[in-house]
Amino acid sequence: MQFTVAIDGPAAAGKGTLSRAVAEKFGFAHLDTGALYRAVGVKAEAEGLDPVAAARSLTPADLARADLRTLAAGQAASKVAVIPEVRQALLDYQRDFARRAGGAVLDGRDIGTVICPTAEVKLFVTASAEVRAHRRWLELGGDEAQVLAEVRARDERDMNRADAPLKPAEDAVQIDTSDMSIEAAVAAACDLIAKAMA
């Protein structure tokens, strides 16, 4: 069975947590596509590579790095993600993953609009910038005002890039987690997926 769930949204909206829970519930494979861009950004900086070369030479070891969840890796990802040649290098990998047998959940920023426009279920997970910054601050620490400024700067870059900007697909169902528990968000997503599979 091929069944693709596309989950998009801005940083710290809860899409990664939601995606992992949904994949586990339905026995689907999960791909955090942001990790691909984080790995490219970190690899390019660490090895002094051109980002396109880093994307074309990505290995499983690059995706297993311990430093991919840092704020610096997120910023590096956002910078390389605006490069069309980097996006193209990672496109086939993501599409192949999405159509694997047994079902797949992909989370990112352009899954429903660019990577998997024919996904059986498309969700757009969002929350206010203040809520997302607070979550990120709880996770990483630092100066909360600075984290909010970085979240807003990242949103600005992601939503206004020329290639595959962050936006909900026209047929995506929006889930706003600002005032919602993760359990409620997962339940809502699972309900939508179960109906689509029926």
Contact 129, 148 (CB under 8 A): yes
Q: Domain range spanning residue 22?
A: 4-197
- Tell me, what's the pLDDT at 41? 96
- Tell me, what's the pLDDT at 168? 95
Residue 60 assigned ligand-binding role: no
The secondary structure of 72-116, three-state, reads: HHHHHHHHHCCCHHHHHHHHHHHHHHHCCCCCEEEEECCHHHHHC
Residue 195 assigned ligand-binding role: no
pLDDT in tens, 34-59: 899 999 999 999 999 999 999 999 88
Q: Provide the angle, in degrees to the nearest 10, between the axes of the packed helices 15-26 and 182-197.
A: 50
pLDDT in tens, 98-125: 999 999 999 999 999 999 999 999 999 9
Tell me the CATH number at 116: 3.40.50.300
Cα separations in angstroms, 176 against 9, 135, 163, 180: 10, 14, 25, 7
Residue 15 assigned ligand-binding role: yes
Residue 54 assigned ligand-binding role: no
Residue 194: pLDDT above 90? yes
pLDDT in tens, 118-130: 999 999 999 999 9
Residue 16 assigned ligand-binding role: yes
Q: Total structural domains in the chain?
A: 1
- Least Cα distance to 164 among 33, 23, 40 occurs for 33
